Structure 1
């Protein structure tokens, strides 16, 4: 008791102490993090702002350089556009004057035109018009009047160009055009400058009227216009653009005193020439430069500056703009102070809040500690109750681990123990044990029709009924899904086990009413006996499972005991399956051909392709046997494709080498027909082999139609649309063969051999055969009888009007080589005399 009181005191003291220590640690961490964050924020602010200001200066300079480039590159275009427009204007004036005075002498009209054009000046007085005849005679030259009336076609510039000849050539061939030459300026006759001219032919007098402009003059005009525009650019409080040429002359500056002054040798306070530094940076291409500027616009005092300088080599210009360091520092100092103040305010709030929270939680922990102390005693009393509850939950979990959650019957784990106990008990008393595997027949249909909840209730109801029929030593379990398994130990003999099985089957004779619905069900049972079929639970379960599915395949709603014959069959099926997987790869499959005879002519009409399998270990395996296995293991499509490709190859070869064009009938499995790519594969194979579709008949059995008529009908119609024929095999053995003839695109019906075997001796079979033949004739269907083995059967079928026959009377199924050797030439079977047939069968 004393020990418990000490624990109670600790419970009251420890929570407040922990809260206080935690609060102190939190406050220390918050303050430290706050200071670290403040330092990082200030550093980041400084870096970001300086970078932003530098990028702003760089952007301004690059924009100016881009504009200069644009104007420079457009110099020649603008020049050409200007002089072309001027010449067109002069040509219109001359044309107008000529049109108004065309009846006057040429000399008089020439005077009128030259008087109108001689005094016109443009391009700041530099531009004028000249007129020459195409033979070089000067008609008008305002700046060189002494040229007028003389031939100047031999004038050359300093590069050897014949100025007037080149112009005359252009206007003579093109009517107008641009030319280039070098010529002196009126104010500078010692040097020639490049000039671009435009001339236009004046046809009435074989003149050309033209003008020209010096490239350097236009470029200087553009420079002056740009410098004027750039000198007015401002951004921010002290941002501007300056331009210095490579000789140190300031061409553009915010301070008018700096313009047109040379400061190449002017030194700043640090005895360094700003101009030289700027020019040096420009000559290297571009870059940032830090230097002492002569003055800052806002203070007119020297100040340290960071500028972005960019060279323009074509005009020998250094273009720059920048930001003053003092401006940056002033801004950053203001921002740092603001951030520091905000940070201190935020920290104060956090500390006040932390103190309040600490006090609150200390008080709360004290209250909680007192409450905890009061509850401690009650918890101590409840612990014992909790242990009892835990034991109950443990028992429930153990039950769930060993029982089915739906039916509450034992599950596989617990049932395995029951089997072992039953075997031990039976062995001890020299008795037998029956293990019965029970599977509900068509349980999926119940779920699909009524819903899973009804299916679950049916399983629960059956579990309860099964449990009630057990004796103390018996047991039953739900094995999974719709499967139950019984263990009946202490049986005297097999008969007693059979009685148990019958009892289980009888349970299903009554209907089960669930949710107002009357449900009928049945079960199939597989039985394995101890010690006859095995001594261990795994052996008995496995053999009961095997015989269960054997029972379902034979007849649902029945029971079957495991025996050696079933075991042998199972082993044989497994071996058959394993060998079948390699049959195609090892070339063990072959296709034989049974002739089909045209009754009217006695000649071979076609063949039915029949697949055969010979395995070195198993020998000849019946198609009835291995086709079913192929369908079960999913190989039927592969085998079906093999038969189609092999038979088409063989029969097309036969037809090429023979005068006879055989028809080919191929049996198609229901599962093969329902494959999604069946038709596409069939079309591809026949197309690749250039086979006529009308030579191929696909034989289907009636169970194809019974299983899923809605799905099969469009497939069969597509086959017919492609030109293939369709034969309904084993006609007359199904439940609704006649309805298929009206609903399906069938072209042929095949009388089953069961009718042919008996129709000579059984009047009912004979009537059926005659009826089938009559139906075929009325429906315009080909009728073929299979299993014809005697001459009398052949004669009777011929008398009834059957179209085709096949059977051992004519030939067994033959390999291609033998078929070719026998039937490559026409082989006629004896025809019965029609009068004799009438006498015999009328």
Structure 2
């Protein structure tokens, strides 16, 4: 080989790798530049599509929310109208009742005239509403709108559909407990005679004169009022970046718009055509439109806009909202510039690194390349190790985030996903499932008695037992505190769910050994079935929670399945609670009085004060329900003080203090009695009213004595020292009645009405009643029998030596005015005996 060839070979060996590496680097860099450009374009397209989709989804959700609100308002049309009509007729009925009661001794013609004069001028519903009255024969007694109809028979009056309005009205009221809604069709005074509108009326029977008092209103008028309210609301409605919702009617006229000048103007032809296409759909009359808007905030000539429109069925409205393309493109341009800058920086870093790498490879050739390769391999191994450790930590953190640290069960973060999976499983396999919310009964007592450490260990033990009873598809999660949630997605019916309940309850049959201590507890369970009760996890949990706490309220340790009746009962309870908070301020409570008769003399020696609530919204509410609720929500003190003061004032108004003064018995709630300042509060009221304390007897039931007997005894002794009488109500129904008589300063015992009901049919009851009367006599206590409804019961009690009786045999609960009249009638007849 010649020297020249050797040099060429040497040059090839020396420079060929460098040339090859350089060419390879150039190709790689060109590929990287092209790839970076394509990736940048794809990112821009993705950002554009994603932003448009986000904007569309946002405006669609806004329209759906507004549509839902409008639908809720629409659904209230008839109910709102019925509530208004019922309230107005109740008002008129009360006015007529009060006039009649105050002037019943006057001639009927005078009373009728006064009622007419009181009701005739009353107008409501923007002057459209008025009252009318007719009697059982259809004779018009009052017609505020057309007075000339008064005194004429309307018995054969028909509406435009031929319905005998008055006759149907009377039948419905008579068959519905004295009040009813009804409907008919009439033309409106301000509309064409051939246009007819449905009208809703409400009537209530006025017993003293056999009248039917009523009123009515056109549905369309109330609907128009609600539409106006919705328009006013939407005119001020804003969201996002001062975005708004507009309303267009079926003629293409704008009804609501933030720009006042746009209201009552027509939409553009371009938008009108797209609205017509949406209206022409058979189903899902909604969709997106792309058009030139006349109006854009901050612009003189409007701008290009994308809007989502939705039809409001029944109102012929189209509501919509959207976003302006100009604003969107400006926002997009900022993102594109930022992305391009980021890509350019990344590309520069890549090219710079590539150049440096190329120079290093050329300079160090194979030997340095091998060293670098070795070091790179070690570096890669270290990176892989770090990544593995990082992934392990991430997995551990994820596990800790999704599981309860105490019980190691899934927590609330995983719960929705677990239930969703169960619902999907049940749907796919055509079976049903159950969500069961479990609460460990009296867990707080365990913590208080044995410490939180023992409580935590108990929860761990229970969790392991729960896991042992799970099937292949079943799960249990800790919901929080002492609550757990089971999901059973593979059930056949309610019976299978009940078997799961029994399996859970069996866990608590055995005693738990915690730190050498034997602990016993139980659980209460609320069950919601899917898909029957719901198909959303949150809704199923909520419904299970509702029946859980209803179950605990009835009996701890039991289970209850959700149903629609329970839901209605809960809703009614919420309504009663809401109304109860307003009832005292609304003057809806009144106090009635039932006479108490001395058996020996036959005279009325006192009365028992009884609270009654006639809710303006819900009607009469049972004392058993509203008193218990008042205790639960903390208004019992206010209610109790009202009843106590009212009873003292009323009795003093008809029976002044003195030797022959009539006494009054007033029931006391356990919550009131446990208030430390309660005795002083009662004394203060009697002093303000001016009634002798000795005339007032406080009635307590045996359940109050179960709270804290020492505290109760202290309160009762304090009230006895002030001079109050103390009556033990429902005597004989509890477990410790006799011991209470020996412990507490009781002055009176009341025989429970359950004994009186069986007095004439049960020898055992007779013996018990005789024993109670004998106990009262030996303890020098007055014995009162309540619930006396027949002469035979009264005679039997008189024969046994009972001191005082009360019940419907003598009189039902009466107003204080009726009690006064009853006393006056006895005095005028020369006898005070009932």
Aligned partner of residue 608 in structure 1, secondary structure: strand
Question: Which residue of 2 is the match for residue 758 of structure 1?
Answer: 758
User: Does residue 473 of structure 1 match 2:494?
Assistant: no
How many aligned residue pairs are there? 457
Partner Cα distance (1:723, 1:683) in 2: 9
Q: CA deviation at 1:657?
A: 9.7
Paired residues for 1:488-637 under 5 Å: 488-637=488-637
Matches within 5 A, 1:6-21: none
- Pairs within 5 Å for 1:429-508: 429-508=429-508
Whole-angstrom CA distance in 2 between matches of 1:514 and 1:452: 12
Q: Distance in 2 between matches of 1:817 and 1:422?
A: 65
Aligned to 2:409: 409
Give a deviation string over 1:440-471, Cα, whole Å, max 9, x none: 11112211222211111111111111112112
Give, in whole Å, the separation in 2 of the partners of 1:579 and 1:666.
24
Rounded to whole Å, the distance in 2 between the matches of 1:587 and 1:522 is 45
Contact map agreement 1:748 1:782 (CA 8 A) in 2: yes
SS of residue in 1 equivalent to 2:703: helix
What residue in structure 2 maps to residue 707 of structure 1? 707
| Whole-Å separation in 1 of the counterparts to 2:414 and 2:824 | 72
- Residue 656 of structure 1 deviates from its aligned partner by 2.8
Query: Where does residue 796 of structure 1 map in the other structure?
Result: 796
Instruction: Please list the CA deviations of residues 245-265 of structure 1 after superposition, one character each: whole Å capped at 9, or x if unmatched.
Output: xxxxxxxxxxxxxxxxxxxxx
Q: What residue in structure 1 maps to residue 395 of structure 2?
A: 395
Per the TM alignment, residue 629 of structure 1 is displaced from its structure 2 partner at its CA by 1.4
- Residue in 2 that maps onto 1:241: none
Give matches, 1:728-739, under 5 Å. Answer: 728-739=728-739
Q: Distance in 2 between matches of 1:497 and 1:451?
A: 35
Counterpart CA distance in 1 for 2:695 and 2:422 is 66
SS of the residue aligned with 1:582? helix
For residues 44-64 of structure 1, what are the alpha-carbon distances to aligned partners after superposition, in whole Å with 9 as ceiling and x for unaligned? xxxxxxxxxxxxxxxxxxxxx
- Equivalence for 1:201: none
Query: Which residue of the partner structure matches residue 693 of structure 1?
Result: 693
- Structure 1 residue aligned with 2:810: 810
TM-aligned CA deviation for residue 789 of structure 1: 0.7
Q: Distance in 1 between matches of 2:697 and 2:481?
A: 44
Rounded Cα–Cα distance in structure 2 between residues aligned with 1:727 and 1:657: 21
CA contact (8 A) 1:603 1:826 kept: no
The 5 Å alignment of 1:31-46 reads none
Cα separation, 2, equivalents of 1:578 and 1:558: 29
Larger radius of gyration: 1
Distance in 2 (alpha carbons) for counterparts of 1:727 and 1:530: 52
For structure 1, list consecutive stretches of 5 or more residues without a partner in the other structure. Answer: 1-375, 832-842
Alpha-carbon distance between aligned partners in 2 of 1:788 and 1:631, rounded to the nearest angstrom: 29
CA–CA distance in structure 1, aligned partners of residues 639 and 709 of structure 2: 24
Does the aligned pair in 1 maintain the 2:505–2:522 contact within 8 Å?
yes
Q: What secondary structure sits across from 1:700 in the alignment?
A: strand
Any idea what the Cα deviations from partners look like across 1:420-459, whole Å, max 9, x if unmatched?
A: 1111111122211101111111112211222211111111
Q: Is the 8 A contact 2:425 2:489 kept in 1?
A: yes
Matches of 2:606 and 2:620, distance apart in 1: 26
For residues 385 and 739 of structure 2, the distance between their equivalents in structure 1, rounded to whole angstroms, comes to 76
Q: What does residue 781 of structure 1 align with?
A: 781
Measure the CA separation in 1 of the matches of 2:811 and 2:382. 95
> Deviation at 1:381?
7.7
- Contact kept, 8 Å, 2:588 with 2:614, in 1: the verdict is yes
Q: Answer whether contact 2:604 2:833 (CA < 8 A) is retained.
A: no
Q: Distance in 1 between matches of 2:511 and 2:379?
A: 56
Alpha-carbon distance in 2 for matches of 1:792, 1:590: 32
Counterpart Cα distance in 2 of 1:825 and 1:676: 43
Secondary structure of the 2:556 match is coil
1:73-94 per-position Cα deviation (integer Å, ceiling 9, x unaligned): xxxxxxxxxxxxxxxxxxxxxx
Cα gap change, 1:472 to 1:545, in 2 (>3 Å): same
Cα distance between partner residues in 2 of 1:658 and 1:499? 69
Q: 1:533 aligns to what SS in structure 2?
A: coil
Query: Residue 659 of structure 1 contacts residue 825 of structure 1 at CA under 8 Å; is this kept in 2?
Result: no
Q: In the superposition, relative to structure 1, how do residues 657 and 783 fare at CA in structure 2: closer, same or farther (>3 Å)?
A: closer
CA distance in 1, matches of 2:430, 2:755: 55
Quote the offset at 1:739 in angstroms.
0.5
Q: Contact 1:660/1:824 (CA < 8 Å) preserved in 2?
A: no
Residue 775 of structure 1 and its aligned partner are, at CA, apart by 0.6
Give the Cα separation in 2 of the matches to 1:391 and 1:824: 93
Residue range with higher mean Cα deviation, 388-397 or 584-593: 388-397
* Aligned equivalent of 2:769: 769
Displacement of 1:504 = 0.7
- The CA distance in 2 between the partners of 1:830 and 1:617, in whole Å, is 41
Structure 2: 5+ residue stretches without partners? 1-375
What CA distance in whole angstroms lies between the structure 2 residues aligned with 1:378 and 1:692? Answer: 101
- 2:243: which partner in 1? none
Rounded Cα–Cα distance in structure 2 between residues aligned with 1:447 and 1:726: 39
Which secondary structure state, in structure 1, belongs to the residue aligned with residue 821 of structure 2? Answer: helix
Mapped partners of 1:682, 1:659: distance in 2? 22
CA distance in 2, matches of 1:627, 1:500: 37
Conserved? CA contact 1:596–1:805, under 8 Å:
yes
1:134-153 alignment runs, 5 A limit? none
SS in 2 for 1:675: coil
Distance 2:407 2:676 in 1: 41
**What aligned pairs does 1:77-156 form with structure 2 within 5 A after superposition?**
none
* Change beyond 3 A, Cα 1:632–1:498: same
Does 2:681 correspond to 1:681?
A: yes
2: CA distance, partners of 1:389 / 1:427: 40
Structure 1 CA distance, aligned partners of 2:710 and 2:424?
56
CA contact (8 A) 1:654 1:824 kept: no
Alignment of 1:815-834 (within 5 A): 815-824=815-824, 826=826
* Deviations 1:23-46 (CA, angstroms, capped at 9, x unpaired): xxxxxxxxxxxxxxxxxxxxxxxx
Residue 387 of structure 1: how far off its partner (Å): 3.8
Instruction: Tell me if structure 2 keeps the 8 A contact 1:431–1:492.
Output: yes
Please give the alpha-carbon distance, in whole angstroms, between the structure 1 residues aligned to 2:774 and 2:704: 24
| 1:753–1:787 Cα contact (<8 Å) kept | yes
Distance 1:569 1:482 in 2: 26
With normalisation by structure 2, the TM-score equals: 0.53
Whether the aligned pair in 1 keeps the contact of 2:601 and 2:833 (CA below 8 Å) is no
User: Match for residue 211 of structure 1?
Assistant: none
Instruction: Give the SS at the match of 1:406.
Output: coil
Q: CA RMSD in A?
A: 2.2
Residue 472 of structure 1: CA displacement? 2.4
1:380, 1:748 → 2: CA distance?
Answer: 94
Structure 2 CA distance for partners of 1:463 and 1:715, relative to 1, 3 Å:
same
| 2:726 aligned residue | 726
Between the aligned partners of 2:833 and 2:711, the Cα distance in structure 1 is 45
Match of 1:260 in 2: none
SS in 2 for 1:746: coil
The equivalences for 1:323-338 within 5 A come to none
> Structure 1's 778 and 380: CA in aligned 2 closer, same or farther, altered over 3 A?
same
SS of structure 2 residue aligned to 1:484: strand
Secondary structure class of the residue paired with 2:582: coil
Query: Does the 8 Å CA contact 1:658/1:824 hold for their aligned counterparts?
Result: no
Shift of 1:532: 1.1
Give TM-score scaled by structure 1 length. Answer: 0.53
Cα-to-partner distance string for 1:268-293 (whole Å, 9 max, x where unaligned) = xxxxxxxxxxxxxxxxxxxxxxxxxx
In structure 1, distance between residues paired with 2:600 and 2:614: 37
| Equivalent residue, structure 2, for 1:666 | 666
